[in-house]
Every structure is written in C-alpha cells, then in structure tokens.
Chain A
Amino acid sequence: MRKFFMAAAMVAFASSTIISAERAFAADGPTLTAVKKRGELICGVHQGRYGFAIADKKGKWKGLDVDVCKAVAAAVLGDGNKVKYIPLGSVQRFPALQSGQVDMLSRTTTITLTRDSALGLNFGPPTFYTGTGFMVRKKLGITKVDQLGGAAICVFPGSTTEKNIAALFKSKGMKMTPVVIENSKELVSAYMAGRCDVLAMDQAGLPGHQQYDAKTPSDHIILDGVYSKEPLAVGVRADDDQWFDITKWVVHALFNAEEWGITQANVDKMKASKDPNVTRLLGATGNLGKKIGLGKSWAYDAIKAVGNYGEVYDRNWGPPLNLARGVNKLWTEGGLMYGFPMK
C-alpha cells in the first residue's frame, strides 16, 4: 500500500512537472496571438536586393530573407504563402518593427550590440554571414581598397556599412565623400550613372546589382575581401520571448534539416526515419512544437514550404548570381551554420 502511494505521488509529481513544462507557453504571447488571429504573418523585407528579397514582375517576392519569412509562416500557420511582405528602407525598418507594423524583420539586418540593446530588439541566429564589399568600374584600374582615397562612395544611410567605411577610410588615412540615398533603386542608379566611383554594401548584395542593374556587367568588378563582420539575422521585439523562440528555432530547424539530410522532396519519407533526431524534429515522435507554442508539425511545415537551409541558399544564390557559399556552409563542412540541438 505504501509503495502504491509512493508510486502514485511520483507519477503525480512527474506529470505535474511535465504539465508545467508543457505549459511554459500555455498562453500565447501577443505576437503569436496576433498572427494567428490575422491568419497572416507580416514580414519586413528589403525593398529590392537580389538574393535576399526582390519582387519579380508578377509582384511575387523571392530571396533568402523571404524564404525565412515563409518558413516562419508555415511553422506558425501551416502555410508558407500566408505572408504579407512590407518592403522597408534601411531607416524605416527599426521603427516599423518597434511600433508593431511588422511581426518580424527579415531584412539583411546586421546584429550589433546597440541594436540588440538600445533598440529594444532581439536577434535570432544569423541566417547569412557577409561583410562590406566594394564594386567599382573596371576601367579605373583599381584592384584594392587602398586605391580608393578621395572617391565618392554610394552607400545606404543608417546602415552598418556607412559606419564601416567611415572607420575603414579613417584608419587608412584616406578621404572619401559618402553619397547617401535611402531608396535602393535611386542609390544603385546613382552609382550606375557615375555619380559615385564606388558602390559599397554587404558584399553579398553586389553580384545582383552587377548582373541585373549594370548595362554591361563586365564593366564592373567587385573588389576582393570583405571589410567588416555582418552577421545578418531575423530581428523581433524584445518584449515577446515566445515569438523570439519561434523565429530562432525555425531557423535552427532549417540548419538541422540540411545536416540530417531532410529536403523539401523527402520530408514526408523522412518522417519514418530511424534517426530519433529526425523524427523528433518532424513531429513524428514527441511534441517539440508545443514547447514554443506551435503545432506538432511546425518544422515539417517549414521544411515542406522552403526546404532546408542548403536548398534555400542554392535557390537564391545559385545561377545566375553564383555566390559561393563560403562561411555560409554548414559547420560540418567548415562553415558557420550550426543548428542547435532539437531536444
């Protein structure tokens, strides 16, 4: 009898801890509630940067940042197309997020200490690593940054690039004239028309402008080397921890999917995998989704919608841009993309 009571007490205790663990997000946070009620995720993206976010002729958005929005929408709402894209300038992006105009910012945004703290934001794991790069006209005969003294440089206002080049040129004792225009099209056309000698931005942004915006792409060259650290990540408001967890783990799910060989095509088959990591991620066993306030199939839906991180990368940076993955490879292949344990 006494044993029975002991056992009963232990079961009760264990189940109560399970219940309380599962109840961590029993009440949905404000952002998740709003997104579910709306039936649509509102995602802030770049106004037009090839590979990250660009609207095609039919107004359909494409790009790595866009795919991250789709993955989150799929995980939350079960449908990757339930996203409303709000194109934002570099200056408008933070107020738009802070004021609640957008649910998340997937807009080539560099994580910095100031942005993480003073802006009241939280940043997920970087979805792309890049750094400041420079594009110049080939006929100037310039091969390295040290030859850029006195140049007029087109750069986005309020970007980390703007501060990087100020610091870089100061450290090299060179002068330069920044030309800052917020509108992406205007800025690139200012460079193409010859108003600036140099176009400076995250290096990953340059091949797209070279391919699509230059009259003759071979007239321009992208200088070797990156001149800053730009880990780009999803930003959310700091006052909603649950929503932060959701965006963070959706990104980790995409990294892990690549590592464990789950693709858009084989995701259904992989549900029957023998690897417990895979079945747990896809919701075939256990219920990871519930812990972050989502359904069982959250990661399955995200992968079904956009594929794993490698697929997302190849879709957006394959031909014609052909940007080598470099540090954006998985950690197992010598890169920096490292999915956290899904347990």
Chain B
Amino acid sequence: MAEQAHPPKTNRSILHSIAFRNIAYQLLLAAALIFLGWYLYYNINENLDRQNIATGWSFLNEPAGFDISESIIPFDSSQTFARIFAAGVLNTLHVAFVGIFLATLLGVTMGIARVSRNWLVSRLASAYVEICRNVPVVLHVIFWSSIIRLLPHPRQALEPFNGAFISNRGLMLPFPVDNALYPWLAFALILGIGGALIFARWARYRREHTGQYISVFWPSTSIIFGLPLVVWALGGAPLAWDYPELKGFNYQGGISLSPEYIALLIGITVYTGAFIAEIVRSGIESIHRGQIEASRALGLRHSFIMRYITIPQALRVIVPPTASQYLSLTKNSSLGVLIGYPDLVNIGNTSLNQTGQAVEAIAIMMLVYLSISLTISIFMNFYNKLVAIRER
C-alpha cells in the first residue's frame, strides 16, 4: 500500500510530454499526407497502365504538328510541344500582366470617382461597378468577342488616324522601324526613371527636415521624358514608321493586336476593375473623417491630403484584397480558351488531345498557374509589408 503514496510513475512517461506529443502529431500528419500523395500517384499510374495509355514526359520533345495564331516567341508547327507550352505560358503572362496594369488603373480611377463629390461622376462610377461586378466574367469575355466580330471586314476597316486600322481581324497600328538608336533610348528612359526616383527621395528628405515642400511632379516628368528626347534629338531624330498595309487577306506590317487578345483583355480588365474600384472605395472610406477635417483645418490642399494622409493609410486596407483580385484575373485569363486566344489552357487542351497525355498536360497547366499565382502573392506580400503600419 505504501507505493500508492508516490505519484503514479506513468505520469512521467514520454507519452505525456507535451513536446513529444506535438512532434508526434505532426509526424503522423506528415506520414498521412505522404501516404495519400503516394497512393494517388500509384493509383493513377496503375490505372493508366491497365488502360494501356502512354505516360511520361518524352512527348515534350516531339514536334507539336499544329500552329498557333499568335506567339511572342516565334513558333512553327515543326517545333516541339515544350516550345508551344512556353509560347502558351508567355501568352498567358502577356494578357495577365497588361490586364493587371489596366485593371488597377481603371479600378483606382473608378474607386476615387465613386467617392467624388460630383454627383454625376460618382453615379456613373457606381453604375459601372454594379453592372460589371454582377455579370459573370465568362459573359464579359464572350460579349466583347461578339462585339469585335461585328466590326467591318479588313477591306472596309475603320481608320481612326493615318496608318491605324480597326476591323474584325483586330487592331493594326504603325510601329517604328527598328533603329540602332532605340536601345539607347530605352537606356535613357531607365536612367531618367532612376533620376526621378533620386530626386523624389531628396525632396522628401528635405521636406521632412526643413518643412519646405517641393513639387515633384513636373521635375520628374521632365527628367523621365526629357532625357530620352535629348538622346533621340542628338542621334539625328530618326523616325521611320512601318505602316500596316492590306495585302491579300489581311494587313501586313506594323503591329497588330488580335481580336481574341483584345476581347479577353477588355473582358477580364473591366470585370476585375469593378472589384478593385470597390476595394479602393472601401479603403478611402476607412479613413476617419476627423483626420481629413483636421488636415483641412491645418490649411492643407486637397491633393496634398489625398497624397499624404488618405492614400498611405487606405493602402493598408486596399493591398491585401487587391492581391487576390490580381490572382483571380490571372486565372480568369484561362477563359481565352472559349474565344480562341492561344493561352496556356488552350494550348494545353490541344496538346492533351493530340498526344492523349491528359495527366501530364494538366499537371503542367496546374504547375504553371500555381507558380504564377505564388509569384504574384510573394510580390504583393512584400508590397503589403512596405505599406503596413510599422509597429514601434
């Protein structure tokens, strides 16, 4: 009976240690996940084998045998599936990045317009948001695609200005003929942007230390655009344009945007822009009225209040949800498959069908979307840290 006076020995067992349990649970979870992954992999392979369906990645090195309508890298039907996939990824990135840029521009403009004190402007912005937000993005894309098809044929193309043509084959624009000077112009532009950034930093430093406000807008604009202009003038001001010309079935020369690209771009931009507008509006409205009234009482200008009081605080509210809008825009670009834009999904589907290797083709598509989305997430998280409140 004397033993019972001691605390039961089992209490000190390793099974009762919290640290051990934590690790054990995690190990069990990891083992379960690994087993699940292995089981799926094994199951797929087993089933494919049973049905005599070819597997493996060697098809990527075989010639694709089909053409695509547009590609950033040159593509020919005798080149490989790997290259056509790359062309598809680039087309997806192309429309997604231009889309993100334009949707942000549109969203911010419309968001600010919605809180405008001008009745007409704010109503128009509300109408835009309500109409575009409440229609499925698929319909946006198909709607724009059918609108473009109603445009005149190439032979009766609209010519808004000399050398530009709008028809149901898309938009054709003149493009400068390549010149040895142009790389230097790009260099000058980058230099100009760098100079403008340094100037803005200096102006800020000065404002924070002396209270003297220096306007940044005009000086930086003139640095950014002035520098390339000077280089261009010194280089003899070369200016030759390659004009699109009607040859055979369609226009040749200049640059062209295909109707599918335009329809997809407008569709996803207009749709996502409406959501970003709402996010921007909620961001602006999250700033307490008192702050703005106080700033006015101090005699600050309206633009100054927007720039230095409202926007920096609103960004904290705006950035995280906007990041997810960017992600959904990128994924929505896969709707190009409906109207014939050769994005990754379109090319993936065709390759899948030509080779019959569904698992591999879909795995590639998933992996690419995952990588693009993760990259956007990482970038947006980084930006979010920049604008977030710094706890001191």
Contact = CB atoms under 8 A, between A and B. Distances in A.
**A pairs with B:** yes
Given A170-B76, A181-B340, 9 more contacts: A118-B357, A157-B353, A158-B353, A159-B353, A162-B354, A176-B67, A178-B66, A194-B149, A194-B168
Contacts of A187: 340
Contacts of B355: 114, 118
Contact of A193 (B149, B248, B340): B149
30 contacts: A91-B349, A91-B350, A94-B356, A95-B352, A98-B51, A114-B356, A115-B356, A117-B52, A118-B355, A118-B356, A119-B54, A119-B356, A149-B248, A152-B169, A157-B353, A158-B352, A158-B353, A162-B66, A163-B65, A166-B66, A166-B67, A170-B76, A170-B77, A177-B69, A178-B66, A179-B340, A193-B168, A195-B259, A238-B52, A239-B50
A180 B53 contact: no
Given A91-B350, A118-B356, A162-B350, A181 B338 contact: yes
Interface in A83-138: 90-91, 94-95, 98, 114-115, 117-120
Closest 6 CB pairs of A and B: A158-B353, A118-B54, A119-B356, A166-B77, A193-B149, A120-B53
A222 to B, nearest CB: 18
B200 interface: no
Contacts of B248: 149-151
B68 interface: yes
Contacts of B346: 157, 180
Nearest to A155: B66
B107 interface: no
Contacts of A163: 65-66, 77, 354
Contacts of B65: 163, 166-167
Contact of A179 (B69, B146, B150): B69
A167 B63 CA distance: 12
A239 to B, nearest CB: 5
B339 interface: yes
Contacts of A179: 69, 260, 340
B353 A90 contact: yes
A91 B353 contact: yes
B337 interface: yes
A180 B169 CA distance: 14
B342 interface: yes
Interface string B54-79: 10000000000111111000001110
Interface string B250-266: 10100000011000000
Contacts of B380: none
Interface string A62-93: 00000000000000000000000000001100
A169 B67 CA distance: 10
Interface in A194-223: 194-195, 197
B153 interface: yes
Nearest to A122: B52
B249 interface: yes
A190 B51 contact: no
Nearest to A238: B52
B289 interface: no
Interface of B: 48, 50-54, 65-70, 76-78, 146, 149-150, 153, 168-169, 247-250, 252, 259-260, 337-340, 342, 346, 349-350, 352-358
A150 B249 contact: yes
B358 A95 contact: yes
A40 interface: no
Contacts of A238: 51-52
A157 B149 contact: no
A182 B149 contact: no
A238 to B, nearest CB: 5
A167 B77 CA distance: 8
B68 A178 contact: yes
A182 B248 CA distance: 27
A162 B340 CA distance: 13
B352 A91 contact: yes
Nearest to A179: B340
Given A158-B349, A176-B67, A237-B51, A193 B150 contact: yes
B24 to A, nearest CB: 40
A273 interface: no
B83 to A, nearest CB: 14
A124 to B, nearest CB: 17
Contacts of B340: 179-181, 187, 190
B180 to A, nearest CB: 29
B69 to A, nearest CB: 5
B12 to A, nearest CB: 56
Contacts of A264: none
A197 B153 CA distance: 10
Interface in A37-71: none
Nearest to A142: B249
A239 B339 contact: no
Contacts of A118: 53-54, 355-357
Contacts of A181: 338-340
A257 to B, nearest CB: 33
B253 to A, nearest CB: 13
Contacts of A170: 76-78
Nearest to B351: A158
Interface string A295-334: 0000000000000000000000000000000000000000
A186 interface: yes
Contacts of B52: 117, 120, 238-239
A157 B338 CA distance: 11
A183 interface: yes
Nearest to B348: A91
Contacts of B252: 150
Contacts of B76: 170
Nearest to B148: A195
A46 to B, nearest CB: 15
A55 B104 CA distance: 45
B79 to A, nearest CB: 11
A163 B250 CA distance: 23
Contacts of B146: 193
Nearest to A193: B149
Given A150-B248, A181-B339, A186-B339, A157 B349 contact: yes
B53 A119 contact: yes
B87 to A, nearest CB: 13
Contacts of A193: 146, 149-150, 168
A190 B149 contact: yes
A135 to B, nearest CB: 15
Contacts of B260: 179
